[in-house]
Structures are given as C-alpha cells and as structure tokens.
A and B are shown apart, each in its own frame.
Chain A
Amino acid sequence: MKYPVEIKHLHKTYQRRGAWLLGKTEEKIVLQNVTLRIGAQEIVGLVGESGCGKTTLAKVLLGLESYQSGSVQVNGLELKELSKAGFKKLRRQVQVVFQDPYSSLDPRQTMRQILCEPWDIHGLHKDKEQREKALHSLVRAVGLDPAHLDRWPHEFSGGQRQRIAIARALALEPQLLVADEPVSALDVSVQAQILNLLKDISRSRALGMLFISHDFAVARFLCDRIAVMYQGRILECAPTEQLLCNPQHPYTEALLAAVPVPDPVLQKSREPVSLKIETNRSSCPCPYAPRCRYYEAAQCARPLPQQTEGDSRFCACVRLPFQKEKSRYAV
C-alpha cells in the first residue's frame, strides 16, 4: 500500500549558541527517531504535552523547518531534496490550519483577498466568472455566507475566522491538511461546529489529516489513529479505539487519567497521577522513565523497541507485554 506521507527515523535538533567567543554550541534534540505515516484519507492524531515537539513535526512536514537526518516523503518526494519550485508544488498537496485564527489571518485583507491569494500564486481559476463560482462554492463548503466575502477579518467571530482559515487551506484542494490545534482557541459551542466541519470535509474531499491536539476527547472524535509524543519521540501509536480503551504505554495511561471528565460524580472520585520526577533515573534509555510509575531498574535499562514498518500498533516500552494492575484509568 502506498502512503502519501512517510516519515522515517526523523531526527531534528535545535542549536543554541553559547556565550560569545567562549561558550560551546549546545544542541537540543527536538525530534528523535520519529517514524509515522499517514495513509490516503486517513486522519492521524498527534497528542502530547506542550513542548514535546508536535508543532515542530508539523513544521517539518510543511517544509517550514529543516531536519538533520531521516527522511520525510510526501507522495514519494523527499522534502530535503526539493527545489523552490518543488516546494511550490508541495503547497498544492499539503496545507495548514493554525491554532489561533486571530493571528493567522492578515487583518488588512478581506475574506475575498485571503481566499484568492493561493489561486493567484498558483495561477488557478484565472477566468473571472469561474473564479467567482469557485469562491462561492468554497465559502459555502465551510459554512460561511458568500455575501460576506468583502468583509475584513475583524468583522468575524473566532469560529468564523477559523472557517476562513480552513477555506484558505482548502482553496488549492490539497490531499493533506495539517491542523495544529485548530479548536483549542475557540469557545466550547463553536468548537463542536468546527470539529463537525473538519470531519465532513475530510470525508467529502478525501482529505488526509495530521491533527495536532493535546485533547484526547477531540482526537477521539476525529482521528483514525493516534500517536502519543513525549520529548520528541513517539511513545505509542495505535488505532484510536485501541489506544484509548487499552493504553499500553504508561505515559498514555497517565495522560488519559489526567483528562477531566464532565461528570461531577465521576470526576470527584478520580485520583490524579503523580508528576514527580525521579532524577536518578535519567540515565535510562526511556525518556519517560523518570516519571514512570512502573519503573524497574533492571528492565528499563534495556534499549527501547524500534518501530518497524507495517506495525499497526507500536509502543516504545521495554516492559511490554507487561501486566499492569487493572488500569484505573482506561476509558
């Protein structure tokens, strides 16, 4: 089977320059051995705490960040080797929706200008009448009113702006949408509208999606598969239902346990997980060992399992398969 997006053993580091003349350059690893693929029309969720590298991975996939080693292929094209013209072509295949619709739309462009810009750049819909028609159908597809095409972004509410951002991403009819926390800046009632929209669009337009979120509930609603990231590594990756109902990695389990549930009786009886960090475990190959509640010195000193191709389920824990006490946290 052919995968539109193949990320293999991706490594990325940021360099931090030390003090002037004297200091050494420091390297900070942000992505380590990341292997992930996204099938045609598949929605893959990427979940993790802030600073774990989710957004960096998205930027790499969009060609906005370089990487040191490994390979990132979109439709068989290696991103590292792409020319400027190649990147322009890539933009027609991969598009992005950002988190904050207040800063991702140019305040000095009307909705019409915002939506037509991609077509101008790529030379599409040059015929005036045809463009107007395409514009209207695009705007309707995201649930906006074509009569508002000449309004400015500040005249729209947060939810409407996010719809404009989605329309802009869809203008070039990409195969893959990278959505970086597209609903976390929105009100609850509007969040549901946007999630429904994303789901409908992904079906009607045969769209694959990398959906970045820190919210498992949102990921469950939308995603076919979920990858859990911690300190630049993917610790667990599995089909949504399997991951949520039977989390295998201790970190996934802890994350799930921390999600509050909107039920006062149930929520008040739950016990949050400890976040204590045991610094003496830092030599361990597993990045999560210092916080892990199942840590065992002898076992956890072993090298982590490697992700192999064709695995439907992957878990980077050396103690697998291990018997957890019946999980208190599984959903």
Chain B
Amino acid sequence: MDAREDIILSVENLHICFRNGEEKTEVLRGLSYQLQKGKVLAVVGESGCGKTVHALSILKLLPPGGEITAGRILYQGQDILSLSGEELRKLRGAQLAMIFQDPMTSLNPIRTIGKQLVETILAHTSCSRLRARARAVHLLKKVGIPNARQRLNEYPFQFSGGQRQRIMIAMALCLNPSVLIADEPTTALDVTIQAQILKLIKKLQRQSAMAAVFITHNLAIVADIADEVLVLYGGYCVERAEVKNLFAQPMHPYTQGLLGSLVSLKRKEEHLPAIEGYPPAPGTPEQGCPFAPRCPYAADQCRRVLPPLVEHNGHTVRCWWVEQNEISCGN
C-alpha cells in the first residue's frame, strides 16, 4: 500500500506568532507531521506549549493577533492557507470538523440546539429540513442524549456540562468529516462519560475511516485512542512515535518525565518522580533546547544549541543525548 496516497492532512514547518503592537511572541516554532486516513494522532503537551493554537490554525481560526508566519497546511494536497473564505467555508464542518475545548461557550445560548445542529447540516447538504432534523435526532441519540427528539427544542443552558460537550461532539460529527480535530474534548467530563465518548469516537473512526488530531494533556486518553503521539514542549516537537513505542520506551527526557510523574492506579507510591520546575511561558526567547532548564541530563551544549529532530529506533526525537545514545532508553 502506498502510504503517500493515504495522507489526508499534512502540516509542514508551521510557525505561529502572536503580535501585540511591536511585540512578537512565537508560540509554535516549526511543527511538521502527516496524518493518514483512519489514524489518530495525539498531540500532547502542557499549557502554553502551542497545542491549541496549532489546532485552530488548521481551520484557519486563529484569534486576532495570531498569525502563521511560515509553513503550509495541506488537506488532501490542497493548501488550506491559500483558500478563499468561500472555499474554506465548504471545507469547515463538512470535511474538517473541530470539537472545541469549552462546551460552555461554544454553543449559541439563544438558539435551540436543534436549530444549531440543523443549520450545520443544511449549510453543507441540499437535503430537506425534515431530513436534517431526523439526522440531528439520530446523532444526539448516538452520543447518548436521552429523549433526543424532545430535547432538540431545548436551549444549551438546559443541558449539563457533559451533555453540552456531547452536543458539540454530535455537531462536529454530523457530516461525517474526514478529519476531526478535537481540542481536549473530554477534559471537563467525568471518567464515566469520558469513557463513553472515547468509545463513540473510536467507533466512528473505524466505520468511516475518519482521521483525528486529538489534543490532550491526559496520557491515559492517549493510550486509549491514539495511533501516533506527538509531544510538544515550548512550541517545539520534542518527540514523535507510535503509541506503543512511546509508552514502552520514551526517549526524550521530557516524555520520560511526563510518563514518570503519572499517578498510577495500580500501585501505591510513596513519592512521585515529578519534573522539577515549571513549563516555559509562551514565547520565552529560547536558546538551545527548550527543556534544558528542567532537564536532569542538560549539559552546556543543550543550553546553547537547539538539537535537531532525528530518527532513532522508530522515534523522532529532539535531544542531543539520544543521538549519542547517552540516555538509557525507557524506564
């Protein structure tokens, strides 16, 4: 099978800046990846590492002040950044759908959820209002909202947080998009509902070969849903690998630290091996490796020169020491 043909989304050397008057803050510094049909890529990182900004840029939805300074985003070979407003509108929702982080503010509070769902469907298809309504009911049932038909006429405030999140998910999935971008879709939810929603997304992905970019900081969710994982730190990709390899043999010291600092349900620990220090503020002028100030292995070279991304044992890693085989792989 030719893997090239299967590539549905590809991001090349993406740089994103935020401008505040004369001040420029670079939040994403050269991100590249390719996503294949039916695969799930998880983007992992801490707050301020650029993961949400990158997701918004795929739909060209960067907030005011945000600007893509370099790079390309290709959807089925077509450069999204060069599309006109009309062409973009056709793509958004129908082909590229997004689940936003905050369900409380992403729904229109003064329109019924039925109207909002039907509007999405009618904007992209030529079916009748009645059919669109039937489809909306079907989707709400699918995401586990009881009495879907009656509840279509209710307003967002009449739903709980978890239900609103599920409505957002239904809205994102209503036109069978080929790429789903999910920005922390389950952070606000209880574990029980979270498990249900992940199951739904997995099912859709199997049925319709939907690809997904899953943005999260919860590594347990990554283990559940992802095929490939990309770890972001301070605006740089520091490690990329298949999910099994990443969990079995994390190579970048940051990834190792992240996995190490997880609280386990399996064993009782006396002390957690936390990563010392705090993540860098966005746009911190960097010299050298962004993780160096917190890294236990940091040497002089790390503080001076940014390591390149290198292939190593099936991982793509940005660390000087991995190349020199100095860090013992794994735990």
Contact = CB atoms under 8 A, between A and B. Distances in A.
A195 B265 contact: no
Contact of A188 (B144, B219, B223): B219
A61 interface: no
B134 interface: no
Given A221-B263, A264-B223, 9 more contacts: A50-B161, A193-B276, A214-B191, A221-B269, A254-B192, A261-B265, A262-B262, A266-B223, A273-B192
Contacts of A199: 271
A92 to B, nearest CB: 30
B263 A217 contact: yes
A289 B258 CA distance: 39
Q: Which 5 A-B pairs have the closest CB atoms?
A: A192-B274, A192-B261, A260-B220, A272-B195, A187-B46
A178 interface: no
A145 interface: no
Interface in B181-197: 190-196
A218 to B, nearest CB: 5
Contacts of A254: 192
Contact of A267 (B146, B220, B269, B279): B220
A240 B268 contact: yes
Interface of A: 49-51, 157-160, 187-193, 195-196, 199, 214-218, 220-221, 240-241, 244, 254-268, 272-273, 275, 277, 331
A267 B226 CA distance: 11
Contacts of B161: 50
Nearest to B243: A264
Interface in B208-237: 217-224, 226
Majority secondary structure, A binding face: helix
A79 B161 CA distance: 33
A205 B190 CA distance: 33
A272 B217 contact: no
B228 to A, nearest CB: 11
Interface residues of B, number: 48
B265 A189 contact: no
B223 A51 contact: no
A220 B262 CA distance: 12
Nearest to A47: B191
A234 B199 CA distance: 29
B263 A51 contact: no
Contacts of A257: 195
B268 A220 contact: yes
Interface in B109-161: 144, 146, 160-161
Contacts of B144: 275
Contact of B146 (A193, A214, A277): A277
B223 A50 contact: no
B192 A331 contact: no
B273 interface: yes
Contacts of A263: 223, 247
A189 B46 contact: yes
